[in-house]
Chains A and B, each alone.
Chain A
Amino acid sequence: MPNMQNTKTPIKEQDPKVRARNFKEVCEGYTAEEAINEANRCLNCKNMPCVSGCPVGVHIPEFISKVKEGDFEGAYKVITLTNGLPAVCGRVCPQENQCEGKCVRGIKGEPVGIGRLERFCADYMVDKTADVQKPQSNGIKVAVIGSGPSGLTCAADLAKLGYEVTIFEAFHTAGGVLMYGIPEFRLPKATVQREINNLKKLGVEIKTDMVIGKTLSVDEIMGMGYKAVFIGTGAGLPNFMGIPGEGLVGVFSANEYLTRINLMKAYMADYDTPVKKFNSIAVVGGGNVAMDAARCAMRLGAEHVYVIYRRSEAEMPARREEVHHAKEEGIEFVYLTNPTEIIGDENGHVSGIKCIKMALGEAGADGRRSVTAIPDSEYVIPIDACIMSIGTSPNPLIRSTTPGLDTNRKGCLIVNEDMLTTKEGVYAGGDAVTGAATVILAMGAGKTAAKAIDEYIKSL
């Protein structure tokens, strides 16, 4: 008899006042008893709507059944059949729009906490050796450019099929946005590295410090005997607003701020990269990256952290859970407001941000409501730093150095339904194709591309 409680089994979180000043993980995860209790809420539906909501097709009711029995290792094995990064996905996927959004239990109450259970299984295996077996090699080399979620997933799937996979990564550490973007308090870096180490056990080789387009070109890689290339280079080029004052000291892109903190560990005294402590910071934007930047600023000791967003709370693209966490931690939200200028003091340091109030209009063709500035409503918020988090675009480095690779007007690589680019043998997926999106969509794209690459190579 399933557990018919209408709400999810509660999960332990650090107290907001305490966690707002540390980088330790906010959510502490389920205990075995809590996990089993939550697993028992699953009705084990025959048509499995939850699976259709998962971009990488995790066999959800099957793994949850194992959790019910207390066979956590068995559950982990089921998950990793299709998902190489369960500890990551369980933490950062927007489950409300994916697996959990389709859960039958969500109709009359809260859906089953699929993400929490996936995370529990992955964490259960932390101190245990999962018997990752290196598959028999077929001797065929495939190159993956970029070691973010799409590249890691594509590499894992190809390695499992026997390909000799080499990942080329520009940074000194693999993981892409999982390492430099998403902060420790949402996604511990040790967790990410553990999942990447599991990939290495599959025989995937990771070459860091490789800026493709500079150190090597795509054509050179193909000349090195790689039969196919997957481009998963993401959308890492930060946008600025183009308003006066963006050159002042104290104006950062969210990418810079987060890279200093997450990748370079600037918040830890032993590490050499500096990051400034500011008293009042404005974060411009309403996405998950803005939430991450704002919450990092709070953890570095800011007194006021404002999130300035031009639409209202209802239109914010950030996950509800993250907005809720940010509010609990004392982040101040300034809605229907748009910066028009960053103001500096006599030393060229940020001293304020001039904003104009906005009014919401009707929904446009893309379904988003338009916004217009309200005349004569400008005012200044005093701040000493500003973080621009208004989106990113794909880096032009690869497309500008690879003949035959077509992009759309936004600089995104053009692919067909098999993730094949306009260049033979070159596939692409993730943010490099879609523009900034989610971790799990990038993973889904990596998975689709791996399947297509396998078929392509077999057809040669």
Chain B
Amino acid sequence: MYKILKKRELNSQVTLMELDAPLIAKKAQAGQFIIFRTDEMGERVPLTIADYDRDKGTITIIFQKVGKSTMQLGLMEEGDSILDVVGPLGVPTHFGEGIKRAAVIGGGVGCAIAYPQAKALHNMGVDVDVIAGFRSKDIVILEDEMRAVASNLYITTDDGTYGTKGFVTNKLQELIDGGANYDVVIAIGPVPMMKFVCAVTKPYNIKTIVSLNPIMIDGTGMCGGCRVTVGGKVKYACVDGPDFDGFEVDFDELMRRNSAYRDDEAESKNHICRLTGGVRHA
């Protein structure tokens, strides 16, 4: 059992939780993730470790309530315990050698994963530009945290209600055109966003790392449910990733595979809202 020590709503859909998980906190590094299962009937769901405190023995997760399991997790309160938390899983991000300047790009709740990357780079003494994109002002998250580790923080909103109007790719293009010599670009967010960031960086051949989010079950390499095609080869995102060279990823295949259970998810989400208001045994 893993106790929820702190809970904070970052916006109406995104929640931050600090969990008591000393063994995971001791080992966690930027780019790694955990798998949680709320209760006995729950499914196993991956979430990135957004932060950790080795001394306190805590890890931080940030999640968007997009379906049944994340909604159920969102209903849990400080003092409640999550049945299972496994980790740290996946390979820590390898930023490469001799990086002086980097752009870290987060899309929506992807900022929760982009933030620890930006922090890790900042702590390495790298000059980090953070580009954080949101649909609109009311869902902006982690602004203060990102500002604290960024040399420059650029917030974009699709509707222009906050920061610059437009997509993260518009801002990235603008910065590249303005002469920003990035040694590496790290993009984390919805698959289409990561795909389009790669389309921007590819002509300049700027090394671009993406953090993939395929469907996972065990997260330890025993099922291949999370397999992705990278450079024409099959990789398991849970053990070989989740970070990969963005220029080599087959994003279209990933998008197709991620939609495999869309109908089932919609049904279970609808079911939980309508019948129980989120409680399993009403």
Contact = CB atoms under 8 A, between A and B. Distances in A.
Nearest to B234: A240
B257 interface: yes
B84 to A, nearest CB: 4
A209 interface: yes
A255 B224 contact: yes
Contacts of B44: 172, 264, 273
Interface string A272-301: 111010000000000000000000000000
Contacts of B282: none
A238 B222 contact: yes
B179 to A, nearest CB: 39
Most buried by B among A264, A273, A348: A273
A216 B27 CA distance: 8
Contacts of A129: none
B43 A264 contact: yes
B189 to A, nearest CB: 22
A394 B84 CA distance: 24
B23 interface: yes
Interface in A233-265: 236-238, 240, 242, 246-250, 252-253, 255-256, 259-260, 264-265
Interface string B237-258: 0010000000000101100110
Interface in B188-244: 217-218, 220-225, 227-229, 234, 239
A197 to B, nearest CB: 16
Most buried by B among A208, A247, A253: A247
Contacts of A249: 256-257, 259-260
Given A209-B86, A214-B87, A348-B253, A276 B261 contact: yes
A211 B223 CA distance: 15
B84 A172 contact: yes
B176 to A, nearest CB: 32
Interface string B103-120: 000000000000000000
A276 B259 CA distance: 13
B31 interface: no
A259 B265 CA distance: 19
A348 B256 contact: yes
B217 A256 contact: yes
B256 A259 contact: no
Contacts of B259: 249
Contacts of B218: 170-171, 259
A215 B37 contact: no
Contact of B224 (A238, A264, A349): A238
Contact of A214 (B27, B42, B43, B234): B27
A170 B253 contact: no
B130 interface: no
Contacts of B252: 348
A260 B44 CA distance: 10
Given A249-B260, A274-B261, A395 B222 contact: yes
A211 B86 contact: yes
Chain A's interface: helix, strand, loop or mixed, by majority? loop
Interface in B56-107: 68-69, 83-89
A214 B238 CA distance: 12
A248 B41 CA distance: 28
B42 to A, nearest CB: 5
Contact of A274 (B37, B88, B229, B264): B264
B195 to A, nearest CB: 15
Interface magnitude class on chain A: 35 or more
Interface in A113-165: none
A397 B217 contact: no
B24 interface: yes
Contacts of B69: 272
A270 interface: yes
A151 to B, nearest CB: 15
B221 A237 contact: yes
Interface string A394-407: 01110000000000
Contacts of A237: 221-222
B223 A256 contact: yes
A214 B41 contact: no
Given A249-B256, A256-B217, A238 B223 contact: yes
A265 B44 CA distance: 12
Contacts of A259: 217-218, 222-223
B268 interface: yes
B223 A215 contact: no
A208 B228 CA distance: 28
B217 A264 contact: yes
A347 interface: yes
Contacts of B229: 247
A348 B175 CA distance: 36
A312 B257 CA distance: 34
Nearest to B254: A247
Given A171-B218, A259-B217, A215 B86 contact: yes
Interface in A377-423: 395-397
9 contacts: A172-B44, A208-B84, A210-B86, A236-B220, A238-B224, A249-B257, A259-B217, A265-B41, A270-B41
Interface of B: 23-24, 27, 37, 41-44, 68-69, 83-89, 217-218, 220-225, 227-229, 234, 239, 250, 252-253, 256-257, 259-261, 264-265, 268
Given A171-B218, A260-B217, A264-B43, 13 more contacts: A170-B86, A209-B84, A211-B89, A214-B87, A215-B23, A238-B223, A248-B256, A249-B259, A250-B260, A272-B41, A273-B43, A276-B260, A348-B252
Interface of A: 170-172, 208-211, 214-216, 236-238, 240, 242, 246-250, 252-253, 255-256, 259-260, 264-265, 270-274, 276, 347-349, 395-397
